[in-house]
Chain A
């Protein structure tokens, strides 16, 4: 048998295709267990809060279903299971927060390994024309609207206390995820911050952000609101550069 055919046959056996290779079934069993165990372990590690929320049995059944449909294409186990949040969303009845917990787990994991960038302090920023200033954010930053109480549940799952009931939120709330001082973090954002961050990440100027705030909050002191937002972004270490 050519080497390539042997490799294809053994890998098919590990994925569950019985009789793919004429080899000692005891040995094939060890490799198959290792193979699935590695993928299951990677999902357990990345989606740790999902596993806690669902319980071991339900999580394992979901994970093995995902593994059956999604062979690993990346040499790093860190890159396995990017599609698991969508898989969970399709597999569970809404409004179970497991899918959004999975998104949060995954986003925090991505933030943990994201490219390094030194965040700017507001004091260090020199800008001639704030109206035209644009922002570059640290590579770990991302955000998404959540429809369930997944953020609160995620935090509560790290304590021995109870967690919120898995009800839908009255309105979707955006959560931003980033890395600060080597540690992944997340925080829920009010709507005006969400809109401004979305605009700023798309290249909007500080002037654009102020105009957006003015349209959303015509009675507010826009300079104060925008200044507060900026201070929070800098204090949280979100801003990598201002141009």
Chain B
């Protein structure tokens, strides 16, 4: 198995989106790393890869995917994995991450992060796929908890599922604090259960983001500043985790770069307070 230990990396970064390329390239910004969406760069050529070369020359990089389909019952798309491997080999990222979800079945793509039941069968499927992905990629995977709007009958909690997945495969976790708040609120679940059961030693990165109130449920829209509920939970996690790579995601209503830097400073302050407590 190709799984190895991920080197420790701490710092504060941003999810880099097109409107901010010029900002990060014009001058060295106070960012310890940037994260990009892998699929946006899994292309034959052209401007995206050209820009990423320049970004990578100045910043450590994390590759974050949305289409690995780690919950695929019929196994992973090997062409996708090989293309991702080429991207990772070219840009030498801190790590490669994706989500604990499924995104396609029978060759039809949902283009969304669809929920898995936290069942023994799903754990078997995902564990098998994670091992395959780690072998093809030649590096350990980092997997993120998605926001969910549906729950299916299962035999364990989401946190227990993730803990078992890490134990079985050696993968790491990207803890999306906003997604925990969204999912726990939508399903009436306890956030404490997350704090108590997540394997802290496997967490390599934290996502912070905003959400919005949909007609019936909280929706992970990434279109607003990080809300108080997410900052509070971040502080609780960081006080247990210690230093961990932390990043703010904004995918819609993207504000001026300076606003995101200011929000990232809040994350530094919150982490500092947690560390001092």
Contact = CB atoms under 8 A, between A and B. Distances in A.
A101 interface: no
Which of A7, A8, A111 has most B Cβ within 10 Å?
A: A7
B39 interface: yes
Contact of A4 (B73, B111, B114, B150): B73
How many chain B residues sit at the interface, stated as a range, is 35 or more
B119 interface: yes
Given A3-B119, A3-B125, A38 B111 contact: yes
A14 B48 CA distance: 31
B106 interface: yes
Interface stretch (B19-27, B137-145, B162-170, B211-219): B211-219
A32 to B, nearest CB: 9
Interface stretch (B97-105, B189-197, B267-275): B97-105
A112 B111 contact: no
A233 interface: no
Given A2-B121, A78-B43, A72 B109 contact: yes
A41 B199 CA distance: 37
A79 to B, nearest CB: 9
A6 to B, nearest CB: 6
A119 to B, nearest CB: 13
Contacts of B216: 26, 29-30
Given A3-B122, A31-B150, A182-B50, A10 B114 contact: yes
A175 interface: no
Interface string B84-107: 000000000000000000111111
Contacts of B39: 75-77
B185 interface: no
Contacts of A7: 71, 73, 102, 105, 114
B45 A34 contact: no
B3 interface: no
B260 interface: no
Interface in B208-236: 214-217, 219
A10 B117 CA distance: 12
Contacts of A24: 149-151
B263 interface: no
A35 B112 CA distance: 6
A73 B108 contact: yes
Contacts of A78: 43
A77 B111 contact: yes
Contact of A27 (B49, B67, B71, B150): B150
B150 A23 contact: yes
10 contacts: A3-B122, A6-B152, A27-B148, A31-B149, A35-B111, A38-B111, A42-B111, A73-B107, A75-B109, A183-B47
Interface of A: 2-4, 6-8, 10-11, 14, 23-24, 26-31, 34-35, 38-39, 42, 71-78, 80, 111-117, 139, 179, 182-183
Given A4-B73, A30-B149, A74-B109, 7 more contacts: A10-B150, A11-B110, A35-B110, A35-B111, A71-B108, A75-B77, A75-B109
Interface of B: 39, 42-50, 67, 69, 71, 73-74, 77, 80, 102-112, 114, 116-117, 119, 121-122, 125, 148-152, 186, 214-217, 219
